[in-house]
């Protein structure tokens, strides 16, 4: 799902962070803190799945609010509370925001959140393919219906509501970082859990890859 370089990057970050984790009352200073500042990124937007959800799944549905990610021990080390992140610590989008000298990017579903520096549209458990496409292949998406196309719709209506015209929008987002994914892993997970063969999974690859590529173009 995530390539090996990213895993190495994260593993290194966690190694750097681990000695300080008990005293983590404020945002952590880590090796790459502010190192992206020279790129002048001032907004981050992301779509994806559990590798980057900062709190949408637990807010979007009763089922999400009952998920383990809405409860300790998730979040106990850094946030002293569950945030909806599907891990105890920080996610890639968090490290990237901190590296860019920005505050952590809030989830779209957080009421009244400050989106000055971007929005996280990611939903844990989501798929790259729309639910209807999965259903046509007899695959059920059991966690959320907010697949990639839904997250992109949210993004578009967000921009529609925040900028008056295209020039305005382009200007507002001139220094924005758009992150697509990781997404698509759950399409294969659900297919496997629901008894599809490896051959059937392989047959899904072009459609999933095509959907993600189109999402990048649409963004």
Q: What is the contact surface with ligand NAG in residues (CB under 6 A)?
A: 58, 70, 81-82, 84, 103, 114, 116, 156-157, 160, 164-165, 167-168
Question: Which residues on adjacent β-strands are paired with residue 119?
Answer: 45
Q: Min. distance of Cβ 83 from ligand NAG in angstroms? A: 6
Q: Min. distance of Cβ 204 from ligand NAG in angstroms? A: 30
Q: Min. distance of Cβ 157 from ligand NAG in angstroms? A: 5
Nearest to 102 by CA among 25, 33, 6: 33
**Which run of H or E residues covers position 176?**
strand 176-180
- The two structure tokens encoding residue 69: 């990610």
Nearest to 122 by CA among 144, 102, 89, 99: 144
The residue (of 46 and 187) whose beta carbon lies closer to ligand NAG is 46
- The two structure tokens encoding residue 156: 């578009």
Q: Min. distance of Cβ 5 from ligand NAG in angstroms? A: 30
The residue (of 66 and 216) whose beta carbon lies closer to ligand NAG is 66
C-beta of residue 85 within 8 angstroms of C-beta of residue 75 = yes
The residue (of 81 and 138) whose beta carbon lies closer to ligand NAG is 81
**Which run of H or E residues covers position 118?**
strand 118-120
Question: Which residues on adjacent β-strands are paired with residue 43?
Answer: 176
The residue (of 84 and 184) whose beta carbon lies closer to ligand NAG is 84
C-beta of residue 100 within 8 angstroms of C-beta of residue 37 = yes
Q: Min. distance of Cβ 45 from ligand NAG in angstroms? A: 16
The residue (of 34 and 168) whose beta carbon lies closer to ligand NAG is 168
Q: Min. distance of Cβ 158 from ligand NAG in angstroms? A: 9
Question: What are the start-end ranges of the H helices in 104-197?
Answer: 131-136, 148-162, 166-172, 185-193
In Å, how far are 21, 39, 58, 73, 131 from 69, measured between CA atoms? 20, 33, 7, 8, 23
The residue (of 18 and 81) whose beta carbon lies closer to ligand NAG is 81
């Amino acid at each position: 799902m995530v390539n090996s370089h990213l895993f190495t990057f994260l593993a290194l970050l966690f190694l750097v962070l681990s000695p300080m984790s008990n005293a983590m009352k404020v945002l952590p200073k880590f090796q790459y803190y502010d190192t992206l500042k020279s790129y002048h990124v001032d907004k981050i937007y992301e779509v994806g799945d559990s590798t980057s959800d900062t709190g949408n799944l637990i807010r979007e549905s009763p089922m999400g609010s009952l998920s383990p990610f809405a409860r300790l021990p998730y979040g106990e080390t850094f946030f002293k509370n569950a945030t909806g992140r599907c891990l105890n610590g920080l996610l890639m989008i968090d490290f990237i925001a901190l590296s860019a000298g920005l505050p952590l990017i809030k989830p779209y579903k957080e009421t009244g959140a400050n989106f000055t520096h971007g929005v996280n549209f990611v939903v844990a458990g989501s798929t790259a393919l729309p639910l209807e496409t999965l259903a046509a292949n007899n695959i059920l998406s059991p966690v959320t219906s907010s697949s990639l196309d839904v997250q992109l719709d949210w993004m578009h209506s967000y921009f529609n509501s925040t900028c008056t015209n295209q020039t305005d929008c382009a200007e507002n987002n001139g220094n924005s970082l758009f992150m697509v994914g990781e997404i698509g892993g759950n399409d294969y997970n659900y297919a496997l859990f629901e008894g599809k063969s490896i051959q059937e999974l392989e047959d899904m690859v072009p459609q999933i890859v095509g959907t993600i590529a189109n999402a990048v173009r649409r963004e």
